[in-house]
Structure 1
Amino acid sequence: MNFRQLSALAMSFALVAPAAIADMGIAPFVGYRMGSSVDIETAGASTNGQIRFRDTKSHGLTLNFDLPEAGKQGELYFGRQGTSAKLDNGLFAPGTREIDLTIYQLQFGGLYFPGGKRYGGFASGVFGLTRLEPDDSAYNTEHRLALSLGGGYQFLLSEKLRLRLDLRGVYTALDSGGSVFCSGGCQLTYRSSGYLQVEAGAGLVLRF
């Protein structure tokens, strides 16, 4: 099962199961994502360097459903960012210092509104997977565990419509010593246990 099929399955489950017992909200969003660098080394640790992910726009979808306890909601988060990875020192392959890639997140968790409301200030936490998918099929696609924590505010526009503003930190865990994107002959490995991205986003929540 590939990532797109997994995403579709998770979305379908979230749409069908909670709808029978709770009100829901769906919110397409657009944002901007900024990231930290990742330490790497060549085989034998003869050369150290860093991978830097370019700061770019992001977009995606959040889906929420009310839980029995007032002020709490379940949340499914799907995010996508088209970016590039650039090596400060070294090459992914002969003549290649930078590669284009798409970063996906599929995560599940919850939202908490203090005071038992369903709008206003909130805190969020979700956990799941990050997919690092190079545009060039010569490089390996990678899947890593990820955790997102953040907060924001939902402005009540009407009973069925909210404006949602988010600020979240997305941490993706890396296997220190694991390979970096490349397939046969790759000499690069991660030295970092993970990397952090910060995403600011805005979207409209449609309640039904």
Structure 2
Amino acid sequence: MQKLQRKPVHETDVTEPARRLWGLAIVLAFLLPIYRPAQALEFTPLLGLRGGGEFVDTVENRKHLTSSSETLGLIVGSRPYDQGKRLELYFSRQSTEIRSITLGIEPEPYDAVDVPLNISYLHLGGTVPLGDDDRVQGFVSGGLGLTYMEPDFTGLKSETFASMSIGTGLRLPMTEHLGLRLEARLLASLVDSDSAILCSGGCAIRISGSAYYQAEAFAGISFDF
């Protein structure tokens, strides 16, 4: 199996989808304080684990799972309103890889390679509380937004997809302005199952089915100002 070389820094282009993704992040970050101007914002840095997601090698017609790996992220949310509901902006990034996949591109079109892949989610959504226990606060979460897939491999290009998430979790207040957040989410990216992806031409990789599914569990410390 051929072991790939990562892109040199000067060969990594900032694509138009990437600019749109970060532009949306900036806009949504400004919308949160506008939505609840009289309330403080809550910030939750996240550390988690994400797995799942199938790609298909169409040269050999085999399915490949992306490797499970850790995630880093951030949730920026409003303070509670309307019986405990919260509006939130969720961002999470994973560095993973697709193992031993035949891409069908030059210079070795039929050699299997490991493809490093960064997968980022940016969703606008929120949480709805389950019950009114002040000590352990259960909730359901959800969001709509974008998925950005960025392969670290020369000859492949980045992709942006519409996506959604749904999850459930717990908030455990520690002080008036500090708390622990535990959560699990199912993430789904909507794709065209008949089209090759991550390719700038001649490549043979696609997502299995019409959606790309991943599951993520994470923990974070929430604080507000």
User: What TM bracket, shorter-length normalisation?
Assistant: 0.7 to 0.9
Separation in structure 2 between the aligned mates of residue 185 and residue 155 of structure 1, nearest angstrom: 51
**What's the CA shift for 1:134?**
0.8
Separation in structure 2 between the aligned mates of residue 10 and residue 132 of structure 1, nearest angstrom: 20
TM-score when normalising by structure 2: 0.81
Q: Which residue of 1 aligns with 2:26?
A: 8
Q: Which residue of 1 aligns with 2:118?
A: 102
CA RMSD for the aligned pairs?
2.2
* Of 64, 77, 81, the match for 1:51: 64
Q: Which amino acid aligns with 1:59?
A: L
**Is the contact made by 2:55 and 2:205 (CA closer than 8 Å) also made in structure 1?**
no
* Of 82, 91, 110, the match for 2:103: 91
Separation in structure 2 between the aligned mates of residue 117 and residue 63 of structure 1, nearest angstrom: 23
Higher strand content, 1 or 2: 1
Separation in structure 2 between the aligned mates of residue 57 and residue 191 of structure 1, nearest angstrom: 23
The residue matched to 2:22 in structure 1 has which SS? helix
Structure 2 gaps of 5+ residues are 1-15
Separation in structure 2 between the aligned mates of residue 187 and residue 123 of structure 1, nearest angstrom: 38
Q: Which amino acid aligns with 1:50?
A: K
Separation in structure 2 between the aligned mates of residue 164 and residue 189 of structure 1, nearest angstrom: 35
Q: Which amino acid aligns with 1:107?
A: H
The residue matched to 1:33 in structure 2 has which SS? strand
TM-score when normalising by structure 1: 0.87
Q: Which residue of 1 aligns with 2:85?
A: 72
Aligned CA distance change for structure 1 residues 50 and 67 (closer, same or farther; 3 Å) = same
Percent pairwise identity: 30
**Is the contact made by 2:131 and 2:137 (CA closer than 8 Å) also made in structure 1?**
no
Structure 1 gaps of 5+ residues are none
Separation in structure 1 between the aligned mates of residue 75 and residue 188 of structure 2, nearest angstrom: 18
Equivalence map 1:19-58=2 (5 Å): 19-39=36-56, 41-42=58-59, 47-58=60-71
**What's the CA shift for 1:117?**
6.6
